[in-house]
Chains A and B, each alone.
Chain A
Amino acid sequence: EPEVTQTPSHQVTQMGQEVILRCVPISNHLYFYWYRQILGQKVEFLVSFYNNEISEKSEIFDDQFSVERPDGSNFTLKIRSTKLEDSAMYFCASIQGIGSPLHFGNGTRLTVT
């Protein structure tokens, strides 16, 4: 069964550094998402992306975040200047179309020191 793949599985970075989290959505999916989960808390929506532009974003997704689909397969989340509170599990997800189920990757655990 096709799946969403995320790399790396774990990333450690120093406060103030830029990080790029990478995702390869399922190949025939059209809508892409980033979510985050701070340890022990619920899964929070960050941003959705369709047709090469952001379609929806939450208040968490401020100017330090950006997303990009640089080619036909990758979908990236960039955090420009990481803060300690950015430490979380970041999940990428995709759907084939509106009304279809969301499929999640295994996540990237980001630790900011």
Chain B
Amino acid sequence: DVKVTQSSRYLVKRTGEKVFLECVQDMDHENMFWYRQDPGLGLRLIYFSYDVKMKEKGDIPEGYSVSREKKERFSLILESASTNQTSMYLCASSLFRLAGGLGIYNTQYFGPGTRLTVL
């Protein structure tokens, strides 16, 4: 079974703090993703990575950065946390990278989520 783990289930931080959210997958997946989930808004993609040290912005990257130094680990960084970053953060991973426009099916597997509260 694919396993995606996240470093914390609950996290409370203060405004202005630097926050690290860690995600680890054990299936040698190439793609990794960070989403935030807010009521009434569904899941929105923050950043994703399709290879080590490769990253692309998602739909809402402002205020976030990411790091992928090893294939199995993808970190989300809040450089200076703000109250509007209070949210549920979900990490996901998937196998294969799309190439040449050909459709290569793959499923995203999710971690349990981290509920971050910024005071």
Are both chains from one complex? no
Residues of A within 8 A of B (CB): none
Residues of B within 8 A of A (CB): none
